[in-house]
Structures are given as structure tokens and as C-alpha cells.
Chain A
Amino acid sequence: MNLEDIIQQTKTYYCLECGKCTSVCPVAKYDPAFSPRMMIESALLGFENDLVFNRELFSCLTCYTCQQRCPCDVDFPVFIRKARAIAQDNRQHGICAHSGQLQSLARLMTSLDIKQKRLEWLSDKFRISDDSDVLFWVGCAPYFEPIFEDIEFSALDITMASLKTLNLLGIKPKLLPDEKCCGHDALWTGDIETFKKLAEHNANQIIEAGVKKIIFSCPEGYRTFKLDYPSHGFDVGCELQHISEFLAERIENDELKFNEVKKKVTYQDPCRLGRHLGVYDAPRKVLESIPGIELVEMKHSGWESICCGTSAWTNCDSYSNMLRTDRLSEATATGAETLITCCPKCQTHFRCAMTDKGEEKRSMPSIEVMDLANLVANAIKERATVSK
């Protein structure tokens, strides 16, 4: 693929140079060197090297804020994704956060000879069944566990809460012992080769498992399965649902009852779930159906929501931290005591910003961050649902 192909595929030539993308871009607000408009322009003028060897290429959050405002519907995130693939060919991979271990893990997982021990956390508490029609996608959660120990974030808590909720609803999901990274981060950093290997493996595993429905607790995995697998020729051929959509459906059918939880909460829309897939209402519906929960919206919410500051583990810098701090300030300004999100990555980034303050002398907003699945698992009325 070369630059001309990318311009053709993403219809970049329609760009009016109006600059709306740059003016709404959450990164450009803090990082003066980052400008989506300028990136598009250098591509259109044919300055491939200016684009590919630009450090800022990997700063884009691919959060889709710009694309929503674009009068010409230029698909900037996909443009960035494909430009990154050219950059990877030129051995450019941005500044990898967490010393690049997450990228390495994805590449290591492409080996066909490994036998992962990814379900060791599973205890008798959870009921799973190999004959089930429903698959629960665990994703990277077991790997996140040791990596994010120091910011006291446990991704498996979200997985366990989701499993508990599913069990209480009478569903014994199937878990795949040999699922691999969905390839989301590999794809968005331009490592198409790794993505394809992972996608092929996962798609085969799922087809072999013969399930009818997959439930995700991670919006990134959900997006990748829903949009990117089919577009790269890997169709898993079953229904896909995010846990919030699943719960909203159950609430609508009156199958789910909650105990009262007195809490004022606000909700962070993960960009993958919100702008990428248009799921804004389901999580809010779940929150509103828990008695005692008061949902207050932040200044920017729904489709205007602001990203948590880094995607695909690259270029996590002081600008990302500023973005996060401001987002957390928005959350605390609502007077809410808890920030609810649906994405493990949002939680990692917010928790990291609050833990890793460095030597800076500015005040850092502090708020409890929690996944929707955890809130639901704590609030769910056990007896009422089991008897159903």
C-alpha cells in the first residue's frame, strides 16, 4: 500500500482544509505540533516522508471526534491507521507506552506452538459450560493483571463481575482456553501482519466452538470483531454484543432486578463503544435502572465525549496526561463520587493519571473509577434473578 491508495480509499481528496478536525481534536488542544489538517495536507501534497516519519503520527487517538465534524466525511482515523502501516514498513512505531511490552505480547501470541495458561484465575465460584451457545470473550484481562498491578487496576475484576452477572442471569458462558489478543492494538498501530495472524486464529477458534453469540466486556475487542474482522475477511458468523447492550436488553425484558445503591455517578463514553459503534444509550439505561443511582452527565458526554488520552499504547506523553487531568476535572465538577466507564483501557489511563502524579505541583482531581460491570455485579438482586 502506498500513500496514493490510502488517499483514494479514505477519500482524503475531499478535504476542504477547513480545519474543523484540528479545532475539535482533543490532542491538538494540548499538543501544538499535532494537527490532523496538516497531516492530511502533507499527504495530499505528496510529502509522504513528512507524514510517515512524523512523531505525531502515533499521537492520534483515533477517537473519531474529528470524523464526526468533518463536512466532507474524511475518515481520518482510518487514514491514520493506514499511514501507520506505511510507517511500520519504514520501521517507525511511535513511542510505545509501557516499554512496548503490550506490543511484544501481541506478537508473541502469534506463535502457534504456545499453550497459554490464561484461565488460571477461574474458580469454582463461576459456572461455565463448554456446550453453551454463548461465549464470553476474556480478552487481554489476564495479561493486564501483572502489568497494571502498581496502579491498582485489576482487569480481571471486570471479567469476574461480568461472569458473575451472567451466571446470576442463568447463563453459563463458554470460555476459550486458547483465545488470543484480538489484535486491536496491532491493527491501530499499523502492524497488519500481526493483526491478521491473530484474527485468523481467533476466527477459527470461534467457528470451531460453534457458538451463536459472543459477549464482550471490552469495547475494543467488540469493535475489532464487529468491524475489523469482517473487513479483513475473517467472519465469525455469530451475534456480537457488549455486556452493556446485553444487560440493557435484559432490563427491557424485566429479567433483571437491582438492590438500591445510593451513589451519584457520571459516565465516560469509551470512544470505541460510543463514536465507533454508536452505543450511547445501553450503558445509560443500565445505570438508570439501578435504584438510587443518580446519573449526572459531564460537560462533554455522549458523542461529544472526550477520549481517555491514549489508544493502542503509543505516544503516552505529557499531553495525554493533561487531557486525562482535564477529563477527570470534568468528572469531579459534576459532583459525582464515581466515574463509571465500560472500557478497561479508560480505567487504566484514569487510574494511572491519578496515581502517577510525578513532581508536578498542580492539583490532581481524584474520583473513584469503576467499570459498569462491577457496579452491576454489586447491585444485582440475586434471588429475584435466579428464580426467573
Chain B
Amino acid sequence: MAEFEPKIVAFACNWCTYAAADLAGTARVQYPPNVYIVRMMCSGMINPDYVLRAFEEGADGVIVSGCHYTDCHYIDGPVKCDAMFVKVSKLMHILGLEDERLRREMISTSEGTVFARVVKEFVDQLKKLGPSPFLSLRKEKVSV
């Protein structure tokens, strides 16, 4: 049987993390292709439902990533994102999801290598954890 390949959804802010992912690409930094990047205008606009939806649609892990506190294009996006992340972590915890499936990162534009490292680490972590408990929801949908 083929090795389990986790699916990761990364919500990345347009100004920092998305650019970092771009940099990782142009600099030819190697990282696993398991990550699906969703570009957001700001990490502060990510709301809990985006994360819940990602899991519902079959993600094995979610990365929420944006600028560092002082870099935000819209002043206080990361602060809002932190508050949202605490909220969604609690919800996912009650739902019985392992805390390791959610990751909050701050990756600035110049940190392409950091982005690659985070994805690599996360993929290894998720491989140990195995498929998400919500995967059955996705399977049902596909079979219909």
C-alpha cells in the first residue's frame, strides 16, 4: 500500500506568507507538494469557518499563516488571527481533533526557506498522525 500522503490547506496572507511561498518556489527550495495554498488578503480575515470547512472538505491539517506582528499591511491582522486561532483550536479540541493538526505560523516575505521547512515538518507530523477523522465525510461526498 502506498504511503499515506496528507493533504494540507495553508491559509496564507497575500503580503507575507504567500510571497514567502513564491520565494521558496523561485529559489528552488524543495518541499513536499502536499500543501494547497489559499491566498488571503490578510491573516486577520481568516475566520473559524474557513478552518472548519477545510477539514470538512478533507484536509488532514491546516496551516494558518501571515505576517509578523509588526509587518501587517492592515495594522493588527495578526492579533485578530491569533484570537481566531485560539477560538478554532478550542472548537477542534472539543470535536476530538488532535491539536497537532492545526498550526499557526508567522512567515515574512523573505522567509522562503522557513515556509519550506514548516511544510516539511508538518507533513512528517501528519504522516505520524494518519488521516483526519473527518475524512469519511469527504468520502461520502465523492461516492455520491
- CB-based contact A116/B47 at 8 Å: no
Q: Say how far A144's CB is from chain B's closest CB, in angstroms.
A: 10
Asked if A142 CB lies within 8 Å of chain B CBs, one says: yes
Once bound together, how far apart are the Cα atoms of A129 and B24, in whole Å? 56
**Closest residue of B by beta carbon distance from A116:** B96
Using known A-B contacts A101-B48, A108-B52, A146-B90, determine if residue A116 contacts B95 with beta carbons closer than 8 Å.
yes
Pick the contact of B136: A100, A104, A112, A143 (CB < 8 A).
A112
* Residue interface mask A135-171, B partner, CB < 8 A = 1: 0000000110111010000000000000000000000
Indicate if the CB atoms of B96 and A101 lie closer than 8 Å: no
A112 to B135, CA, bound (A): 10
| Distance between Cα atoms of A146 and B48 in the complex (Å) | 11
Closest to A146 in B: B90
In the complex, chain A residues whose CB is within 8 Å of the CB of B36: none
Q: Is the CB–CB distance between A104 and B49 below 8 Å?
A: yes
Q: Check A111/B49 contact, CB under 8 A, given A116-B94, A117-B93, A146-B90.
A: no
Contact B96 A114 (CB under 8 A): yes
Query: 8 Å CB contacts to A: which residues of B40-67?
Result: 47-49, 52-53, 55-56
Write the nearest CB–CB distance from A96 to chain B, whole angstroms: 8
Q: Which of B49, B86, B97, B136 contacts A101 (CB 8 A)?
A: B49
User: In the complex, which residues of chain A have a beta carbon less than 8 angstroms from the beta carbon of B29?
Assistant: none
Does A227 make an interface contact (CB < 8 A)?
no
Whether the Cβ atoms of B47 and A107 lie closer than 8 Å is no
Q: Is B134 in contact with chain A by the CB < 8 A criterion?
A: yes
Query: Smallest Cβ distance from A34 to chain B, in angstroms?
Result: 26
Cα A116 to Cα B91 in complex, Å, equals 10
Interface of A: prevailing SS: helix
Say yes or no: is A110 at the interface (Cβ < 8 Å to chain B).
yes
A114 near B95 (CB under 8 angstroms)?
yes
A108 CB contacts on chain B under 8 angstroms = 52, 55-56, 95, 134, 137
A99 within 8 A of B: yes
B73 at interface, CB cutoff 8 A: no
The answer on a CB contact under 8 Å between B91 and A101 is yes
Report how many residues on chain B are interfacial, defined by Cβ distance under 8 Å.
21
Is A111 within 8 A of B137, CB to CB? yes
Q: What DSSP secondary structure best describes chain B's contact surface?
A: helix
Bound-state Cα–Cα, A321 to B102, Å: 35
Task: Let me know if B94 and A113 touch, CB within 8 A.
Answer: no
| Nearest chain A CB to B133 CB, angstrom units | 4
How near does chain B come to A33, taking the closest CB pair, in angstroms? 26
B87 at interface by CB-CB < 8 Å = yes
> Which residue of B has the minimal Cβ distance to A178?
B96
Which of A113, A120, A147 has the most C-beta atoms of chain B within 10 angstroms of its own C-beta?
A113
Contact A105 to B134, CB < 8 A, known contacts A117-B94, A147-B91 = no
Task: Tell me the bound Cα distance from A180 to B133 in angstroms.
Answer: 15
Enumerate chain B interface residues (CB-CB to A < 8 A).
47-49, 52-53, 55-56, 86-87, 90-91, 93-97, 133-137
What are 24 contact pairs spanning A and B, CB under 8 A? A98-B49, A99-B47, A99-B48, A100-B49, A100-B53, A104-B53, A104-B56, A105-B91, A105-B95, A107-B137, A108-B52, A108-B55, A110-B137, A111-B137, A113-B133, A113-B134, A113-B136, A114-B96, A116-B94, A118-B94, A120-B94, A146-B86, A146-B91, A147-B91
**Further contacts, 19 of them, CB under 8 A, given A101-B48, A108-B95, A113-B134:** A98-B49, A99-B49, A101-B47, A104-B56, A108-B56, A110-B137, A111-B136, A113-B135, A114-B95, A114-B96, A116-B94, A116-B95, A117-B96, A120-B94, A142-B94, A146-B91, A146-B94, A147-B48, A147-B87
* Those 8 A-B pairs whose CB atoms lie nearest each other, nearest first: A146-B90, A104-B52, A113-B133, A99-B47, A115-B96, A99-B49, A101-B49, A100-B49
